[in-house]
């Protein structure tokens, strides 16, 4: 056998041996598997969930849901237009608001315990700035954020070249509500609200006085003040107490997705009574920002956006990675331009 032919075979053997060894290494193995997926390989779970999504939504799932040979995302050159705006008081808000959970490191990933660290690592300073600039180019003029992002947003205003405004959820412990509200105001928040989980807890414990103090503090500083809630009972109780916030933050999504059918609540459902929510919110005159409209990534935007706006939401808050911003904007524009029945009048 010629020496050159022998050397070629030895090199090929070593490459196969190397790839086998690397595949057994957690980090490199994960990267190798990701590469295989980008080349067209898909897992059993993706096939099953993809088929379920197709059955639920009655149409073929595209490459956004299933991996293709090349991962290509929509860019600004593909943008169909800019997100239209509405009003909450004197505050002009894009109909789609950028959610800040991913940037803050809060990720709903059911039982995948590493995901929050992963998305926080992905959203380093420059990636956040890049996402903000991309959102603003699409007409998204607002991010809804936790006070933990106040410094980052101020940094962006000073050094990032943009002016995206932010609504603060003033989230933390219930005992910190007023302090975090003041921090948000001092950091330039355009509006503040009592975060949904905190409001749920305060209402359950009968602490309506703290909600009232938070609303008073925000309004005293000339900003729109809102109340959030994951539970419909929270909104109902606040209405019964006579609260009239400038806006509501209430979850809204349907339950027609796989993990919603799990018998236990494992970070998989955020609106347990969607039809009841739609019916109750119909009679409220304040603007409604709906959040968790995609079930934390389990519902396709075409389906989730339509369900939210058809159900009466005036704005939607959507957590997005940078590579999703343009595509979600285009989907939103298509949904808003389509003819869908809407019982509730537009507010804002």
Mean pLDDT, rounded, for 302-328? 96
Least confidently predicted of 28-42, 58-72, 287-301? 28-42
pTM exceeding 0.75: yes
For the chain, what is the mean pLDDT? Answer: 84
pLDDT for 250 equals: 97
pLDDT for 191 equals: 98
What own/partner pairs with CB < 8 Å and gap ≥ 24 does 106-114 have? 106/146, 108/267, 108/268, 108/296, 108/297, 109/267, 109/296, 110/259, 110/266, 110/267, 110/268, 111/266, 111/267
pLDDT for 251 equals: 95
Give the H or E element holding residue 193: strand 191-194
Q: How far apart are CA 249 and CA 170, in angstroms?
A: 13
Least confidently predicted of 165-169, 265-269, 324-328? 265-269
pLDDT for 162 equals: 96
Q: Which fold has domain 84-337?
A: TIM Barrel (3.20.20)
Residue 75 near residue 133 (C-beta atoms within 8 A): no
Residue 139 near residue 82 (C-beta atoms within 8 A): yes
- pLDDT band of residue 228 (cuts 50, 70, 90) is very high
Mean pLDDT, rounded, for 187-202? 97
pLDDT tens digits along 116-167 = 889 889 999 999 999 999 999 999 999 999 999 999 999 999 999 999 999 9
Which residue did the predictor score with more confidence, 140 or 4? 140
């Amino acid at each position: 056998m010629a020496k050159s032919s022998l050397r070629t075979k030895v090199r090929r053997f070593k490459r196969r041996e190397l790839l086998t060894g690397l595949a057994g290494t957690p980090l490199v193995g994960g990267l190798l598997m990701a590469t295989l997926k980008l080349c067209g390989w898909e897992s059993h779970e993706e096939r099953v969930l993809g088929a379920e999504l197709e059955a639920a939504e009655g149409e073929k799932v595209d490459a956004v849901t299933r991996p293709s040979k090349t991962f290509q995302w929509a860019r600004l050159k593909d943008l169909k237009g800019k997100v239209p705006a509405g009003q909450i008081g004197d505050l002009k808000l894009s109909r789609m608001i950028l959610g800040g959970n991913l940037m803050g490191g809060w990720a709903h990933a059911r039982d995948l315990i590493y995901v929050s660290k992963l998305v926080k690592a992905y959203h380093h300073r420059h990636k956040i700035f890049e996402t903000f600039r991309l959102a603003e180019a699409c007409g998204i003029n607002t991010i809804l954020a936790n006070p933990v992002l106040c410094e980052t947003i101020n940094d962006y205003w000073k050094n990032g070249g943009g002016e995206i405004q932010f609504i603060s959820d003033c989230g933390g412990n219930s005992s910190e509500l007023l302090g975090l509200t003041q921090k948000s105001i001092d950091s330039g928040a355009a509006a503040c609200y009592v975060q949904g989980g905190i409001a749920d807890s305060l209402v359950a414990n009968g602490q309506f006085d703290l909600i009232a103090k938070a609303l008073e503090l925000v309004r005293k500083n000339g900003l729109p003040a809102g109340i959030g809630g994951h539970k419909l009972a929270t909104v109902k109780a606040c209405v019964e107490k006579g609260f009239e916030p400038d806006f509501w933050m209430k979850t809204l999504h349907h339950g027609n997705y796989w993990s919603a059918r799990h018998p236990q609540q494992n970070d998989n459902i955020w609106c347990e009574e969607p039809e009841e929510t739609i019916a109750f919110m119909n009679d409220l005159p304040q603007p409604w920002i709906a959040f968790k409209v995609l079930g934390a990534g389990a519902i396709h935007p075409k389906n989730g956006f339509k369900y939210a706006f058809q159900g009466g939401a005036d704005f939607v808050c959507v957590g997005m990675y940078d590579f999703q911003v343009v595509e979600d904007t285009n989907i939103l524009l298509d949904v808003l331009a389509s003819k869908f029945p809407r019982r509730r009048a537009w507010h804002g």
